[in-house]
Structure 1
Amino acid sequence: MSLQVLLIEDDRELRATLCQALRIEGYAVQTAASLAEAQALLKHGGGFDLLLLDLGLPDGEGSELLRELRREQNTPVLVISAREQDGQKISLLDDGADDYLVKPFSVRELLARMRVALRHRGVHTRPALTRYEQQGLVVDLEAHQVSLNGQPAHLTPTEFKLLARLVRSAGKVVTHRTLLSDVWGPEYTEHTHYLRLYMGQLRAKLEQDPADPQRLLTEPGVGYRLDGA
């Protein structure tokens, strides 16, 4: 099941960019553009595995939220801010932030620092596979492109999400429950007919013989696997 990330950032463009990058990497992301919205999500939105926290929010300081959070839990918090003063960095780290990134930063650096913060909590993750190329099928998750034998394959948004989830675990079995949760949401883990329907559609578009699939493989009673050979 995907790790849950809360992204607290009031810059709409940056929020959208980071949200897309995190989802490509396999994280489940919720976003907040204000202190109040973040507080509501933390109270009612379920548990999060990691927070990305901007400081200058429209209705208050992100540092307030950090101090509130640290009184109750130990969720990893990465501060992302344009403020460069060493004094503020040190103060926030002393208050419980796991790391502090100064804007602008690269997405790759952010993802690496997230992996470190999670590892310190005993959660070990690896960089997700974002490009798959086997036997004429090319899937580029960052570019959101799929081609088969040099020709574009036109997938629906849900078909692409399902394929992307299999790409990120290419060569490994992904269970029915995990696929349903990551593609449709945790409330859909019993809706296995969704998987059968969309897997059939993917096979019709990406297999030479959909009745005898060589790429999108069924593991009976368990789940599906994208051939990683």
Structure 2
Amino acid sequence: MSPRVLIIDDEPALCAGLSSFLEDEGIGVQIAASGAEALALAEQNNGLQLCILDMRLPDIDGNQLALRLHQLDPSLRFLIHTGSAAYSPPDSLQRLGISERDVFSKPLLDMGLLVDAIKRLLHD
């Protein structure tokens, strides 16, 4: 069974490029452009294993969204994909197992690093 990943980002071009790359790597992808959409997809319990999460969304802070998604499904893993070069996971996310090595800055020039991180998180 291929990994199931939810990309949560409000930038359509970024989502399209990331989605195409991951699908070429054999990873199943869904996209949510807002926190509300991400929560609705997670509530459907459709086999999602990992979220690639932007920190700046139109309706909710990414840190808060990660906590809410974790409440819905404690087995979900997270990678942070942010435009903020200074971002560091707060203690609340570190308690979920999100560390500095799970944070990727936009634009990500080597998408292979993201694929390696997905494989690492889903096989740990």
Match of 1:80 in 2: 81
Uncovered stretches (5+) of structure 1, i.e. residues with no partner = 121-229
Task: For 1:201-216, list aligned pairs within 5 A.
Answer: none
Uncovered stretches (5+) of structure 2, i.e. residues with no partner = none
SS at match of 1:51: strand
Instruction: Give the conservation status (yes or no) of the 8 Å contact 2:49–2:75.
Output: no
Residue by residue over 1:100-144, the C-alpha shift from the partner in whole angstroms, topping out at 9 and shown as x without a partner, is 111122211111111111121xxxxxxxxxxxxxxxxxxxxxxxx
Give 4+ residue runs of structure 1 displaced > 3 Å after superposition: none
Deviation, 1:95, is 4.3
SS at match of 2:48: coil
SS at match of 2:31: strand
Match of 2:103 in 1: 100
Q: TM-score, normalised by structure 1?
A: 0.48
Q: TM-score, normalised by structure 2?
A: 0.86
Identity %: 33
Match of 1:22 in 2: 22
- Structure possessing the higher relative contact order (Cα contacts under 8 Å, 6 or more residues apart): 2
- State the alpha-carbon separation in 1 of the partners of residues 95 and 40 from structure 2: 22
Give me the CA root mean square deviation: 1.7
What is the aligned residue count?
118
Task: For 1:86-125, list aligned pairs within 5 A.
Answer: 88-91=87-90, 93-96=93-96, 97=98, 99-105=102-108, 106-120=110-124
Match of 2:6 in 1: 6
- State the alpha-carbon separation in 2 of the partners of residues 59 and 69 from structure 1: 14
Q: Which has the larger radius of gyration?
A: 1
Task: For 1:1-229, list aligned pairs within 5 A.
Answer: 1-71=1-71, 72-85=73-86, 88-91=87-90, 93-96=93-96, 97=98, 99-105=102-108, 106-120=110-124
Deviation, 1:45, is 4.8
1:109 is matched by which residue type in structure 2? L
